Structure 1
Amino acid sequence: MAKAGMLRAEDWRAIIGLAGECRDLGDDATAWRDHLVRRLARMVDADLGSSGETVGHAGGPLRSVGVANWGFDHFTSPKVHGAVFAQVLEDPLCYDLVERWNAEQAREDGAASTRRKLVEDREWYASTGDDLIHRPLGVDHVVACWRTTPGDVRIGTTLFRGRGRRDFDGREVAIVREAHAVLASLVGGPLARFEDPSPRGLPPHMRRVLACLLEGDGDKQVAARLGLSAYSVNQYTKGLYRHFGVRSRAELLARWLRRAYPDPPSWLE
């Protein structure tokens, strides 16, 4: 098992820096995950990767809640990797390593494992996973880490190297592991889940009203700042309540205070 002690001081600085960068994008579940997989891939010299959430691990079928991908266009056409992703989303267990990762996580939540740790080369290169997933994508070695968060939701990242490249070493595995240990405690708080209602799902005018409300403006102030009628502000505010599942302005503000989302928000463009 890769130990945290294998990490250097600069690795810890990079991990803490990554967590801060993700927090700056934390109110957008896709944006912070895009950044996570891109930066973590560069930290461990991976060629491509995915970061997402899955549910259903306490029993019942696995279900992907959402995923962010990076780097796949450099290896295959969108048609090829789109077909591979569709297949894995429909049946995650067609990827042989999923069951092995699940077993590894059952033994130790948050464990980071390489493909070679879980299955020997001879067995892997004759497997369905290599034939249906790795070969079409042009990848071989992989490291993955999954960690459980409240609500039986697992967050995780899977990073790949192209065929012919070396395996991930112990230090690189430890970086992936410790990055997820830091980030897992923030998911559902400063880092939005995929199923959380997102401000980016709102029309631009409603986002602007939301930004004013978060700054403490009353209806008249919002109307004056945005050049809207009081009636329009009232209707937009009701729409915001419905979108975020709250019943009052106090609940809406409490949601942001509790989540400690960034200021200014990443979605206000």
Structure 2
Amino acid sequence: MEFSPVVVNKLVQLWDELEAFPVEQATEANVHLMKTLATWLDSDYAYWCGLLRVVDGNAAEEDPLGGWRVRVSEPYKLPQIYEDHREEILENQHLADTVGAASIAIMREAGNFRVRRLRELVDLSEYEKSAHFQKLQMPYGLTDRVYIVTPVNEDTESCFCFELAGDDGKRFDSELTDFVGTALRSVRWFQRRLFLSHGLVVGDEIFSEMERRIVLLLLTDKSEKEIAIEIGRATSTTHNYVTGIYRKFGVNNRAGLMAIWLG
């Protein structure tokens, strides 16, 4: 798909803005990215999910999501009902009624970059009759969703979702969604860093909030003592956290950690 010079300049400006964020500000950069793309799409909601393959082989074939699970997420704007049912959704991703027909359909294409609107994945007239839709999406008036999914490696995929809601029946424009897809496809490096900031890509266990704070501070020029002061922990406790983080990433020092971060 070809874009005009004006549109290309918008893309380049966004990529430059994203690169300007310090590596330790992954979440802030992600919020900026989602806010920008949501504005382009005029969407009501936007959120990011980090997907991890946790089941392989025959078991995956019988699994609604093909063995994939949402392990981490970061919202820009999230429907409140998703927050209200967050634990239930995360714990029951092995159930078709919990994840819904659209999520099942989008994960059948795992391993490929894809931009899919809701009506490209399901028959909307049937989808809107489902218990999943009536429980989780009808309350806030979902009218359309677009999934933009980027494989990060064979076991991780990065999914950005944008939603429209209201009583006016709004739908996403195909050219705009392709434009936003181009913006995201070109920043796979950034999506990989999102996974790293949560402890994924190199492992399958997500960081605790404290571990995530520390790993991001390790990417700055702060000493361990300064990090300990900032997080309100003893130097020895902080050092134990740091050692554990290095072990998880298979490195011995900050230089090794930064090398992984920069790819």
**TM-score, length basis structure 1:** 0.70
- Residues 48-87 of structure 1: pairs in structure 2 closer than 5 A: 48-56=45-53, 59=56, 60=60, 61-72=67-78, 78=80, 80-87=81-88
Give the conservation status (yes or no) of the 8 Å contact 2:198–2:212.
no
**Matches of 1:183 and 1:170, distance apart in 2:** 20
Please name the residue that 1:125 is paired with: 128
Give the conservation status (yes or no) of the 8 Å contact 1:53–1:194.
no
**Matches of 2:218 and 2:258, distance apart in 1:** 15
Amino acid at match of 1:40: L
Cα deviation, residue 100, structure 1? 1.1
Please name the residue that 1:46 is paired with: 43
Amino acid at match of 1:157: F
Relative to 1, partners in 2 of residues 1:202 and 1:98: Cα closer, same or farther, differing over 3 Å?
same
- Residues 107-122 of structure 1: pairs in structure 2 closer than 5 A: 109-122=112-125
Relative to 1, partners in 2 of residues 1:202 and 1:161: Cα closer, same or farther, differing over 3 Å?
same
Please name the residue that 1:102 is paired with: 107
Cα deviation, residue 40, structure 1? 1.3
Relative to 1, partners in 2 of residues 1:22 and 1:109: Cα closer, same or farther, differing over 3 Å?
same
- Residues 1-269 of structure 1: pairs in structure 2 closer than 5 A: 4-5=1-2, 7-23=3-19, 24-56=21-53, 59=56, 60=60, 61-72=67-78, 78=80, 80-92=81-93, 93=96, 94=98, 95-103=100-108, 105-106=109-110, 109-163=112-166, 164-188=168-192, 192-195=196-199, 201-202=213-214, 207=217, 211-212=221-222, 240-245=242-247, 248=252, 251-260=253-262
Identity %: 12
Relative to 1, partners in 2 of residues 1:37 and 1:208: Cα closer, same or farther, differing over 3 Å?
closer
Give the conservation status (yes or no) of the 8 Å contact 1:139–1:162.
yes
SS of 2:144's partner is strand
RCO greater where, 1 or 2, for CA within 8 Å and sep 6 or more? 1
Amino acid at match of 2:141: G
**Matches of 1:168 and 1:98, distance apart in 2:** 18
Give the conservation status (yes or no) of the 8 Å contact 1:114–1:143.
yes
Amino acid at match of 1:134: Q
Cα deviation, residue 191, structure 1? 7.2
Cα deviation, residue 177, structure 1? 1.7
SS of 1:109's partner is coil
Relative to 1, partners in 2 of residues 1:259 and 1:207: Cα closer, same or farther, differing over 3 Å?
closer
SS of 1:202's partner is helix
**Matches of 1:48 and 1:209, distance apart in 2:** 31
CA-based RMSD of the aligned residues comes to: 3.7
Amino acid at match of 2:243: Y
**Matches of 2:219 and 2:155, distance apart in 1:** 34
**Matches of 2:126 and 2:37, distance apart in 1:** 29
Q: Which moved more, 1:166-175 or 1:8-17?
A: 8-17
Cα deviation, residue 160, structure 1? 0.3
Q: Give ranges in structure 1 of 5+ residues lacking alignment.
A: 214-218, 224-231, 262-269
Cα deviation, residue 125, structure 1? 1.9
**Matches of 1:209 and 1:115, distance apart in 2:** 38
Cα deviation, residue 200, structure 1? 5.2
**Matches of 1:150 and 1:32, distance apart in 2:** 21
SS of 2:37's partner is helix
